[in-house]
Structures are given as C-alpha cells and as structure tokens.
Chains A and B, each alone.
Chain A
Amino acid sequence: MTARIELRGVTKRFALRGRRPLRTRDARGRGPRPDHTVTALDTVDLTVADGEFLVVVGPSGCGKSTLLDLVGGLTTPTEGEILLNGAPVTGPGTDRGIVFQQYALLPWRTALGNIEFGLETTGLPRRERAARARDHLDLVGLTGFGDRHPHELSGGMKQRVAIARSLAAGPDVLLMDEPFAALDAQTREGLQEELLRIHRRTGRTIVFITHGIDEAVLLGDRVVVLTHRPGRIKEIVPVELDREGTDAASLRSDPEFTRLTHRIRELLHDEVALARAREREELAA
C-alpha cells in the first residue's frame, strides 16, 4: 500500500490574542510560566495508507479538528510538513473533501443543488454535474429526495447529503470531523454501515474523527489515540476485524471488538483525567 497522507513532525501553535495567557509547565515540569501561544498539536508523525480508514480519538480540545484542518489545507503547520500523494499541502483543494459535524448545507438549495455545489469548482460541464450529483444521491441512499430543501430533511439525511457532496467531487481523501455526533443512536448506526459500504465500494482514504470508542473500532482500520493538549500520538491501535460479510451487530459481539474498545477506553481514560486536571489548573491560575 502506498502512502496517501504523510505528517512529518507536525506542530501547530495558535497565538492567543487579547486573552489572558495560559500558564503552562514545560516538558520538565518547570513553571508555571505565562505562554502567549497554545500548542494544539506537538510533533505528530503519521502516515495514512491509500484506501485506509483511519479513525482519530482523543480528549476534547486535544487538536483533532486542528489535525483535520491541516490536512484539509485550511491552516498551515507551525513546524513540520504534510504531504498528500507525496507533494506538500499548500492549501485547500478538491482532492480532499471535508464533512462537518454541522452538515454545512446551503439552506436555500435542494439536496441535489447542495451536492452540485460540491462540483462547481471542478470545471465540469453543467449537464455532467447534474448527472454526477444524481449518482451520488443514489449512492447515499437518498434517491427521490433530490428536490427537498435541507429543512425538509432529517439530520441523518442532511449528513448523507453532505457526504454525497464531498464524494461527488471525487476526492482522494475524505476528512470527517465527528460527522455522526449530532445524530441519534439508530440513525448513527445506519450511517456507520452506510459509510463502511461506501468505503468498500469507492476505496477512498478516510480520516474520521470521533468521540465514540465503539464507532472508532467499528469503522477504523487503525485507531489513533491522541494525548490531551498538546496533542501527541499516544498510541495507534490496529483493528483487525473481519468486516467482510458481517453486520455491525455481530461485529460488536466479537470478543476482539470488546478487547479493542476496552483497550482504547483505557488509553483515553488517563488522558481525559489529565485534561480535566489541566483545565482546573488553568481556571485557577
């Protein structure tokens, strides 16, 4: 397998403008000292293989969204470099599609219109755009809902439209930031299976952020566990489950599934406790 995305020593710091500086301790525990930047990610090295489904978990505020923004070209790393297909990322592009937690659908366009929106920067002729939008509407199982406006769709349907929009432009990589977090359990499970099916069918590389441990194991080929701020890679857990021909319910009852969720829960547990302690410290400072 070839590398689709490569992060080499990526660090991202944000300047804290007009705010009280955080008092942080340095690596050797000296301090606290006033610090006018916040380090979201700290020397992250990561390689995502072509066609891989990579899931990222970590405590809140550990830099997961920042990681996604960096790969998406929405921000630039403070240190290190990010390669996409071997070339450095210089900005956003249609070779990467982002799916946001809040759907980000244009309320004045229909489902089909929203999917077409994703194609309007590709330079495709209009007729082809329409045909492709229709194909992707079918792909996410929304045949017949093309004329509905977002306010006439359920949350799950909206997220399907958003996924279809991202896929339609034909990206090499799909970047998903807690896409199912706002959905109810049943809808989420339906969409998880749908996404696995789409992944199998299209062979796209997917980077998927979630807070759901169950979701991480169910979907991911590997699960990256990040530490609390500043985000570093704590561990990468490979998921070796045979998903072919099994449904989510039987996967969940697999002993290996239980073992993996347990492992990730343990890894996260320490980090979340540390993050809480840190937050209290900052508030008190």
Chain B
Amino acid sequence: MSTTIGRSVRPTSPTSPSAVGTGPPPEPGTSGVPDRAGPLPAGALRAVGRLLTAVATRTVALLALLLVWEMAPRLDLVDRVFLPPFSEVALAWWELLIGGQLWSHTSASLVRSGAGFGLAVLLAVPLGLLIGRYRPLADLLNPLLEVFRNTAALALLPVFVLLLGIGETSKISIVLFACTWPILLNTISAVRTVDPTLLRLARSMDLSPPALFRKVVLPASIPTIFTGIRLAGAVAILVLVAAEMVGARAGLGYLINSSQLNFAIPRMYAGIITISAIGLLVNHLLLTVERRLTAGRPDERG
C-alpha cells in the first residue's frame, strides 16, 4: 500500500543506495522474523510473546485503516457510492475470485510485468557491470543515461503505443524500459563503489581481470544491485497498471479502469487492493532473495 507507492517515487537517487532502500530497516525488536526460540520453556515463551507483540505492532495500523474504511461510509462521513465500506469491497473481491476474473486479470498483469522485469534484469545487470567497469564506456553513455533516468517512463507511453501498438509488446516494452534504469544505475554505482582497499588487495595479489571480477567486484556489488532490482520490482507494477489503463482488454489496470467507467466501484477497489497485495508480495519475495544472497553468505571456494 503506502509503502509500495512511496518506494516507487524514489528511484531518482540511485547513486546513494541507502536513499533508495525500502524505508526504515526492520528494527530488531519488531522484526517479523521470529527469534530463534531457546531450548528453555521460559525462553520459548518469551519468544512467542515477542512474536505476538511484533505481529500486533505490525497489524494494528492496518486494522485501524480497515476499521476507518468500514465505518466512515457507514457513518456517512464519506459518500458511500464513491467509497463503499470495506466489507462490500471484500465481497466484490471474493466474487471476482470465485468467478475466475481475478485470476485472469492478475495473471495477465503478472506475465507482462514479469516479462518486462525479467528482461530488464537480464539486460541491465550485465550492461551496468560493463559500464561501471570501463570508464570510457561510462563517459560515452553518461549523457544518455542522465536524459533517460530523468524522463518519466510513463511520459513515453504514447510513444511506445505509437511504435509498438497497444498489444503485449508495447506493455512489456514499457515495463522493460522503466525497470532498466533503477537496475542499471544501481549496478553502475555498485561497481564503482567497491571498497578500494579490496581492489588494491586484488591487484597486489596479481589477480587476473576475470578472477577479480568474479571473486571481488561481483560479490561486493550484489547488495547494491539488489536495491536496484527491488526498486524495479515496484516500478514494474506501477508502470504496468498505468499502461493497462490506456489500452487493454485484460489486466488489473484494465479491471480498475473499466470498473470505474462501469461504475462498479467495489470492484475497482478490489482491483486496487489486489495490486497493493501483489506489490507487498513482490517486495517481500525480492527481500527474501536478497537476504539469502547477502547476509551470512556461504563461503564461495574455488
């Protein structure tokens, strides 16, 4: 929800990885990951208590929001037609789920954004590694990068539609385009900011360039590259939904837009909720992958 959107607004400063992170890091006390319960029952009990507190802390704001959403229309604080109570939205969502429409729209969106996002990763990571490594290439491409990173992808949507039509190609392309920049810029800055003493060490050991790359530059860059990838995950959904509102016959963006046009307001909100949930899930998934790859990394030998 708010976190997904808040994050997607930020990709303008990829040079400082901390600024493009996902907001505040989880505090140790409130982390959703349960602390490993000790063998002692007292320790286990305390761990369970901590977990419950953590869950409660994390859900209380969400529950409050849903409560306000439910009550505000019922108390006539807002127009019920434009903001139906949450329960009605939930019902509409359930009907969409049962009817199968929800899945067909969601899968259409996921395929498009997944394809665009995946292609962007495959394209931008190697390109970024190259640009970050070779100064002349960076000098050559830098003006271009500056122009594109400062051009809102959605502003180019009409161009994509003109060139590629309103079919899948243009939608996947715009996602690919939008996802490329955060990944590319973060990858470049990752390679550039590898600890210089590590590079000196590698040089003093007379490491060959491929070995230097594989054993030092790449592993050192992974955390920052992943920040870019996570950012791109959010961008993929944002851009796709907007693209689907322009010309599409399926997809969550289409569902939201057409529901609004047909005045099926609960359905519209059902679509919005689904997108929020997907945004959260994608971010969580990417975070998990990132943790696997970085924290307490297994020792790479050979």
Contacts and interface: CB of A to CB of B under 8 A. Distances in A.
B297 interface: yes
B78 interface: no
A96 B204 contact: yes
Contacts of A4: none
Contacts of A110: 299
B291 to A, nearest CB: 13
Interface in A67-111: 72-74, 91-94, 96-98, 100, 102-104, 106-110
A106 B198 contact: yes
Interface string A97-130: 1101011101111101100111011000010001
Interface string B264-302: 000000000000000000000000000000101101111
Nearest to B198: A104
A257 B262 CA distance: 93
A98 B299 contact: no
Of the four ranges (under 10, 10 to 19, 20 to 34, 35 or more), the interface on chain A belongs to 20 to 34
Contact of B206 (A92, A106, A117, A130): A92
B219 interface: yes
B219 to A, nearest CB: 5
A178 B219 CA distance: 27
B198 A91 contact: no
B215 A120 contact: yes
A104 B204 CA distance: 12
Contacts of B201: 98, 100, 104
Q: Which of B204, B219, B294, B301 has the most chain A CB atoms closer than 10 A to its own CB?
A: B204
Contacts of A98: 200-201, 204
Contacts of B220: 106-108
Interface string B199-227: 01101111100010001100110000000
Contacts of A23: none
A74 B203 contact: yes
A121 B198 contact: no
B197 A102 contact: yes
B197 A100 contact: yes
A104 B301 contact: no
B219 A92 contact: no
SS class, residues of chain A in contact with chain B: loop
Nearest to B302: A126
A104 B200 contact: yes
A149 interface: yes
B297 A91 contact: no
B31 to A, nearest CB: 18
A158 to B, nearest CB: 12
Contacts of B195: 104
Interface in B181-207: 195, 197-198, 200-201, 203-207
Nearest to A165: B201
A93 B203 CA distance: 9
Interface string B149-175: 000000000000000000000000000
Interface in A149-201: 149, 169
Contacts of A106: 198, 215-216, 219-220
Interface in B9-53: none
A74 B302 contact: no
B301 to A, nearest CB: 7
Given A100-B197, A108-B219, A118 B300 contact: no
B153 to A, nearest CB: 33
Contacts of A126: 301-302
B299 A109 contact: yes
Given A104-B198, A106-B198, A72 B204 contact: yes
B301 A113 contact: yes
Contacts of A117: 215
B135 to A, nearest CB: 14
Q: Which of A96, A116, A117 has the most chain B CB atoms closer than 10 A to its own CB?
A: A117
B216 to A, nearest CB: 7
Interface of B: 195, 197-198, 200-201, 203-207, 211, 215-216, 219-220, 294, 296-297, 299-302
10 contacts: A72-B204, A74-B200, A92-B205, A94-B206, A97-B204, A98-B201, A104-B201, A108-B219, A108-B297, A126-B302
Given A74-B200, A106-B216, A149-B296, 8 more contacts: A91-B206, A94-B205, A97-B204, A100-B200, A108-B300, A113-B299, A116-B301, A121-B211
Chain A to chain B: the 4 pairs with minimum beta-carbon distance, closest first: A113-B299, A108-B297, A104-B197, A104-B201
